[in-house]
Amino acid sequence: MTLVRRIAAYFVAPADERASRHAGRPGPHPGAEDADVTSSPARMSAGDRPPPAVAVLAPPADAQALGAALALALARARHTPLAVLCVWSPQPGGAGWRAPPRPAAARVATALTARGHEAKAAGRLAVVRLGASCEEAASQALRVSAAAGSAPTVLTLGGPRSAAFDALLAMQDLVVVAVAPTADPALARLATAGLTRVLTCAVAPANPGRAFAVAGLALLPSMRRALAAPVAALS
């Protein structure tokens, strides 16, 4: 197996696993239990534009940090009190230090927990750890997105892209592919085959900005620069 194929295994499931991908672009069908939980006085401040919904495809070790950084960047750009981050990864995560939650994030995390999701608040983030199976994770992410209301949502996939996620990825306003600076360009093409509105960004080396983002505390300049293109595309 070539190096490119080994790296691509982080993102792209085998072709037969994706054979049943849906045609078209389905929309969510939330039931009453999926009603907006962001019942905050601070509604959308950028006219009547719907909040952005973004997916991040990243290696498992980078998934939560990059997803958290992008969620914070979108909340900052849209002047919203929180952002909702859904994380799916074969590697455990979320056990590090978390900043004291903002009231809006705490309220949303509590509401999502009451609805059966594994949700925690950290600073301006309501973070949902998705189920282990792709099918369960996709179903949970759809319900969380329906309940997020005016908050930006980021779906971070830190594992192989499977047919179960394809419909969700097609519904996003943008798909961001995180690649190492030295990675072969074929990696991004494999990761996003069949998708539209795709951007790539370089995976920043380990730095304090990652820890600050995961904690929901702040977005340091290094992380803002790395994510400038996706944020600008959604502005």
State the CATH number of the domain containing residue 225: 3.40.50
Please list the pLDDT of the chain residue by residue as tens digits (235 residues). Answer: 443 343 344 344 433 333 333 333 344 433 434 556 665 434 444 456 789 999 999 888 888 999 999 999 999 999 999 999 999 987 665 557 889 999 999 999 999 999 999 999 999 999 999 998 999 999 999 999 999 989 999 999 998 788 889 989 999 999 999 887 777 777 667 777 888 888 988 776 667 888 899 999 888 888 888 889 999 998 7
Return the pLDDT at 53: 95
- Residue 80 belongs to a domain: yes
pTM for this model (two decimals): 0.79
Return the pLDDT at 92: 64
- Residue 145 belongs to a domain: yes
C-alpha distances in Å from residue 55, one per residue of 25, 99, 113, 114, 157: 15, 24, 22, 25, 7
Phi, psi torsion values for 98, nearest 5 degrees = -120, 140
Q: Is the dihedral of CA 30, 105, 210, 92 positive or negative?
A: negative
- Residue 141 belongs to a domain: yes
- Residue 153 belongs to a domain: yes
- Residue 45 belongs to a domain: no
Closest alpha carbon to 15 in 214, 194, 212: 194
- Residue 224 belongs to a domain: yes
Phi, psi torsion values for 58, nearest 5 degrees = -150, 155
| Residue-number span of the structural domain to which 153 is assigned | 3-11+50-233
- Residue 7 belongs to a domain: yes
Total domains in the chain come to: 1
Report the C-alpha gap between 68 and 61 in whole angstroms: 13
Tokens at 4, concatenated = 């490119």
